[in-house]
Amino acid sequence: MRKETIDKLIGIVGAKYVTTEKEDLICYSYDATGREYLPEAVIFPESRDEISKIMRLASSEGFPVIARGAGSGFVGGSLATHGGLILSTKRLNRILEIDKDNMVAVVEPGVITGHLQHDVEAMGLFYPPDPSSLKFCTLGGNIAMGSGGPQAVKYGVTRDYVLGLEVVLPTGEVITTGTRAAKGVVGYDLTRLFVGSEGTLGIVTKAILKLIPMPISKVTLYVEFPDTTQAAKAVSDIMASGRTPATLEFIDHSALKCVREALSEPLNEEIGAILLIEVHGSASVSKEDSEKIIDLCKQNGSLRVKKTRNKKEANGLWEARRAISPSLFKLGTKKINEDIVVERSNIPELIERLKAVSEKYALTMANFGHAGDGNIHVNIMLQGGDINEKARAEKAVREVFQIALELGGTISGEHGIGISKQPYLRMELSEKEIELMKGIKKVFDPQNVLNPGKIFPD
């Protein structure tokens, strides 16, 4: 970027909020993929109007802008792959309103997801989308990625809680979509189009989010199984029983081993997998549902069922669950992290076929995830030092995606495409669908300045 452009950016937000220092650029050069692309500058606007001016400048001068929340994405969405300007939403971090009567919250995009959850809970309300990164990821990032989390089984994903948005378009124009009211069908649903658009169509500057009442009672179960097949069968039986739990997480032994220290429960070799289940409802419903679920686990050969005694014990298990992803590096030096989904009844077949892929390509694999949604995070852990390992892993990834599609699913349930999954896009989408999507991008971003090179291969 030219010096005159940087000066113009300084003119918009002030010198304190633009940096081109190498040390600062490095901090904004990576995300959870571990890939690195150095941006040319980073900017920290504090308002919609500043963002609008930045986008007008970008459109007239033709430099790329990439919105960035916490940089916790798993597919490289927030990376400056084409150089340009990283636009951090760090200073747009206010919860503007929590309206208890209408059960909505109005937030800026840089609010940390867990902070909103904490504040609404204090008022007896509930914002269910709970990516395991909730302690550091932002609502803007969640909206852009359409993020999910363990509680999606019962409550749905971020998409189901976004009522309306304020968005700065790549041209600098500002629009508002949706409504604060409980429903609305006026024109195309632009709100839903923005959710999951990976920061390629506009920069979210405000969101109206739906809240629901806090469930009265929660029962947390930790269930051990001798092998992954029995655990997977229990998952599909529970989901078919109609007693939908709030969470139904599957964790195999390899993944569990990585958080052994954080886990309050003993982990011996006879445990092949566990299910971490939470049941929500009235006191009587959650008691009844959890008993039925325990029965189904026993019918599928569970070794032990532990019901947590209090919130502290339950929170301890969830802390361990959230620590799995970063802890997997105990199994290898590099992680290839996929998040496939299959139809729920196909979870047992998926788990069997994943085992076969791991054996066929002689790769270390750890599998865990939101099994109640049919969503499994498949992690191939590379050891390094073996020149053929990477080629084998690439073949294994393609095969894993093929299996997901054959089992009625998708290649990504919540992490998105970004740059990481571009080579596989055509396995799921037809040429016509890609052409339509590229057409939408062109309507919103005729100069291709906002997050270029993401989702679709150049």
Which residues of this chain interact with ligand FAD, rule CB under 6 A? 31-32, 66-74, 77-78, 89, 109, 131-133, 137-138, 140-142, 144-145, 147-149, 198-199, 203-204, 325-326, 414-415, 451
Neighbours of 422 (CB within 10 A): 17
Closest among 197, 195, 297 to 245, alpha carbons compared: 297
Residue placing its CB nearer to ligand FAD in the complex, 9 or 145 = 145
| Shortest spacing between CB 450 and ligand FAD, in angstroms | 8
User: Do the strands 18-19 and 41-43 form a parallel or antiparallel pair, or are they unpaired?
Assistant: antiparallel
The token pair at 226 is: 């001798």
- d(C-alpha 428, C-alpha 401), whole Å: 9
| Shortest spacing between CB 391 and ligand FAD, in angstroms | 27
| Shortest spacing between CB 113 and ligand FAD, in angstroms | 8
Residue placing its CB nearer to ligand FAD in the complex, 272 or 416 = 416
DSSP state for residue 69 in the 8-state scheme: S
- d(C-alpha 103, C-alpha 126), whole Å: 9
CB-neighbour burial class of residue 15 (10 A; exposed 0-12, middle 13-18, buried 19+): exposed
107: region left, alpha or beta (phi > 0 left; psi from -120 to 50 alpha): beta
| Shortest spacing between CB 432 and ligand FAD, in angstroms | 25
User: Do the strands 85-88 and 41-43 form a parallel or antiparallel pair, or are they unpaired?
Assistant: parallel
Neighbours of 178 (CB within 10 A): 19
Residue placing its CB nearer to ligand FAD in the complex, 133 or 191 = 133
User: Do the strands 85-88 and 65-68 form a parallel or antiparallel pair, or are they unpaired?
Assistant: parallel
| Shortest spacing between CB 387 and ligand FAD, in angstroms | 29
Residue placing its CB nearer to ligand FAD in the complex, 93 or 138 = 138
Pair 317, 222: CB distance under 8 Å: yes
The residue type of 120 is V
Residue placing its CB nearer to ligand FAD in the complex, 217 or 447 = 447
Residue placing its CB nearer to ligand FAD in the complex, 39 or 229 = 39
Pair 340, 409: CB distance under 8 Å: yes
| Shortest spacing between CB 26 and ligand FAD, in angstroms | 16
Residue placing its CB nearer to ligand FAD in the complex, 70 or 294 = 70
| Shortest spacing between CB 89 and ligand FAD, in angstroms | 5
The number of residues making up the chain comes to 458
DSSP state for residue 214 in the 8-state scheme: P
| Shortest spacing between CB 125 and ligand FAD, in angstroms | 21
Residue placing its CB nearer to ligand FAD in the complex, 163 or 296 = 163
